Amino acid sequence: MDVEETMYRYTTDVIASCAFGINDNSLKDPNAEFGMYVRIIFQFSFRQALAGLTAFTAPALKKLLKIKFVDDDTTRYVRKTVWGTVEFR
Q: Specify whether the CB–CB gap between 49 and 35 falls below 8 A.
A: no
- Alpha carbon distance 51, 29 (integer Å): 31
Smallest CA-to-CA distance from 29 within 48, 18, 20, 16 is with 16
Per residue in 16-68, pLDDT (tens digit) is: 888 888 888 888 888 888 888 888 888 888 888 888 888 889 888 888 888 88
Q: Where are the alpha helices (DSSP H) in 21-71?
A: 33-42, 46-57, 59-65
Smallest CA-to-CA distance from 9 within 67, 21, 28 is with 28
Q: pTM of this prediction?
A: 0.71
